[in-house]
Structure 1
Amino acid sequence: MIRVHAASKRYGTRAALDGVELSVGAGEIFGLLGPNGAGKSTLVGLMATIKRPSAGCIRVGGHDTVREPEAVRRLIGLVFQENNLDRELTARQNLAFQARLHRLDAAAARVAAMLDRLGLTEHADRPVEDFSGGMRRRLVIGRALLTGPRVLLLDEPTTGLDPAIRRDLWTLVRQIRDAGCTVVLTTHYVEEAEALCDRVAILRRGRVVAQGTPAALRARYALPTLEEVVLALDAGNERDARCPA
């Protein structure tokens, strides 16, 4: 569903991404794991056509993000790190506005179905400013899903939420995948990547230093958690991680 080939992004002399290679299969939950500044959000921005690569190319659903941005945008839903809901509007109004922007047919029915899917029907006509952090996060994800995307891009979807709310959102993400949507998410949380992702790419300083299933990465480095894999790579195993036998 997504193919990233030799993708780089430079800002002056600084490389935010440096020759990234990865692919994401249809119906997969694919995690981008790494510290601040690793390039995770930049890579999502390239996939979403918000940014243009300095070199290399990215294809989403067979469409080039630079040459065919409109075709790519019709395939994707995007959730930013920041909550950009209109807090003075109700949940229903936020979704209805999104439906109007995309000229969706049967908008009222779609909005009602999405509120039910998110478990927000009883709160549909409350202003978003009265919502908890978890409710707002569910709503912003639901807004991205309203157009029926084939690919959902989630940039650190659970940052700042308490553990119980995070696990509720994990359930929602799994349901989205089970409904046939491909999901790419960035995260700082090792346990989130292990709990959710079919495969993971670990980024460091703009490069993919390891990728595979969480279980395969643990087995390869003989370490109990992905967090320790990152530490091992920092200790000097990057070359081995980039060039598997």
Structure 2
Amino acid sequence: MPKHRTAGQYLTKSQKISMAGVGVLGAAALAVSVVPGNASETSQSATTEVAAAAPVAFTVNKDVQTTVAKQHAAAAKDADAAAKKAKAEADAKAKAEAEAKAKKEREQKEAASRAAARKPVYANNLDGWIRQALDIMKREGIPGTYNGIYKNVMRESSGNPNAINNWDINAQNGVPSIGLLQIIKPTFDAYHVDGTEHNQYNPVSNIVAASNYAADRYGSIDNVNSAY
């Protein structure tokens, strides 16, 4: 009994190849119809995500720029404040130094003024010469009084600072007695007091040197009652 055959069994080899080709083409068409749909959705999703991400990135960049700008502004403000503070401190220091200098100069002037006010003014006569000599003698520790000096001046020169003895033994030896208290040059040089003029004819220098010599030899000019 002959076997029952299916439709496929009656197809020739060429027909089978054709059918296989159709099948492959159908599968390909199906794949194409499926893939583009998914791809479109995927592409739309990606586009949407990029579009959504773009504003975020822009916003982030804008925030960074704003932050940097604020930092720059704050730094500039701090620098300006520091510069103002430094200037204020420098101005205050300069003002204080100027005030201190002015104060010192004012004090020096006041001190000089007080010293000038305290500085005695001596008359340019025998009384003034003796008084000035006594102040110097007091400073130097040389004893003597106004009366002691006066009596010896009157006996030796009658108060003439230019008096000179050209006849005694000293004059004969080439060293005449000169001035108010008739002191010879070697004695004047030996007992001259620093701060006074080195001149025998100067009345104050003459009194001080002679009194210094008398103090060394007699204890004081007050103890001299004759030629010495």
Class of the TM-score when normalised by the shorter of the 2 chains: under 0.3
Q: TM-score w.r.t. structure 2 length?
A: 0.17
- Which of the pair is proportionally richer in strand? 1
Structure scoring higher RCO (CA < 8 A, sep ≥ 6) equals 1
Q: Which has the larger radius of gyration?
A: 2
Q: TM-score w.r.t. structure 1 length?
A: 0.16
